[in-house]
Structure 1
Amino acid sequence: MLEEKYYSVRMRASQNGPHEQGGKHISGGEQISTYTDLKSMVNVLLEKALSHSRGNPDFMQIQFEKIEEPIKVLKPLPVRTYEASSVEEGQSAARKLLEQAGVPTESIDKAYELITEFSELRGAILFDIRSGLRIDDRNEKGIRVSRMDWLTANFEKWAEHYQLTRSQRMREALVLAAKVCAHPATVAELCWSDDPEYITGYVASKRLGYQRITKLKEYGDERGCRIFFVDGLSDLASYIEYLEKQPIFVQWEEKACHTS
Structure 2
Amino acid sequence: MLYSVKMRSAQGGPHEQGGRHISGAERILSEEKIEQAIVAMLHRAQKHQRGMADFISLKVEAVKTADIFYRPLLPLSSCQADSVMAGRKAAVEELVKAGVSTEAAAAGISRIINLRDSMRGAMLLDADTGLRVDSLGERGVRVSKMDCDNSERYEARLLEKGLFGDHVREALVLASKVASAVGVVAELCWSDDPEYVTGYVASAKYGYKRIPVLKEYGNPIGGRVFFVEHGTDVQKLITYLQDQVVLIRPEDK
TM-score, normalized by length of structure 2? 0.93
* 1:1-260 matches, cutoff 5 A: 5-68=1-64, 69-118=66-115, 119-150=117-148, 151-160=150-159, 162-254=160-252, 257=253
Structure 2 gap ranges (5+): none
Distance of 2:94 and 2:211 partners within structure 1? 10
Distance of 2:103 and 2:73 partners within structure 1? 30
Distance of 2:61 and 2:165 partners within structure 1? 26
Distance of 1:84 and 1:13 partners within structure 2? 32
**Structure 1 residue 110, shift from structure 2 partner:** 2.7
**Structure 1 residue 16, shift from structure 2 partner:** 1.2
Which amino acid is the alignment partner of residue 238 of structure 1?
Answer: K
Say what the alpha-carbon RMSD is for the aligned residues. 1.5
Which amino acid is the alignment partner of residue 155 of structure 1?
Answer: Y
**Structure 1 residue 29, shift from structure 2 partner:** 0.5
Distance of 2:91 and 2:205 partners within structure 1? 14
SS of residue matched to 2:73? coil
The change in CA–CA distance for 1:196 and 1:71 in structure 2 (over 3 A counts) is: same
Distance of 2:126 and 2:35 partners within structure 1? 40
The change in CA–CA distance for 1:108 and 1:156 in structure 2 (over 3 A counts) is: closer
Task: Calculate percent identity across the aligned residue pairs.
Answer: 43
Distance of 1:74 and 1:13 partners within structure 2? 28
TM-score, normalized by length of structure 1? 0.91
Asked whether the equivalents of residues 111 and 127 of structure 1 are also in contact (C-alpha less than 8 Å), the reply is yes
**Structure 1 residue 130, shift from structure 2 partner:** 3.3
Distance of 1:180 and 1:225 partners within structure 2? 15
> Cα deviation per residue 1:14-46 (whole Å; 9 max; x = unaligned)?
111111222111100111011222111111211
> Cα deviation per residue 1:185-215 (whole Å; 9 max; x = unaligned)?
1100000000001000000001110000000
> Cα deviation per residue 1:190-244 (whole Å; 9 max; x = unaligned)?
0000000100000000111000000000100001020000004442221111101
Asked whether the equivalents of residues 80 and 210 of structure 1 are also in contact (C-alpha less than 8 Å), the reply is yes
SS of residue matched to 2:187? strand
SS of residue matched to 1:142? coil
SS of residue matched to 1:222? coil
Structure 1 gap ranges (5+): none
**Structure 1 residue 253, shift from structure 2 partner:** 4.2
SS of residue matched to 2:32? coil
The change in CA–CA distance for 1:216 and 1:116 in structure 2 (over 3 A counts) is: closer
Deviates more, 1:235-244 or 1:220-229: 235-244
> Cα deviation per residue 1:62-93 (whole Å; 9 max; x = unaligned)?
10111235212222111111231110010111
Deviates more, 1:129-138 or 1:191-200: 129-138
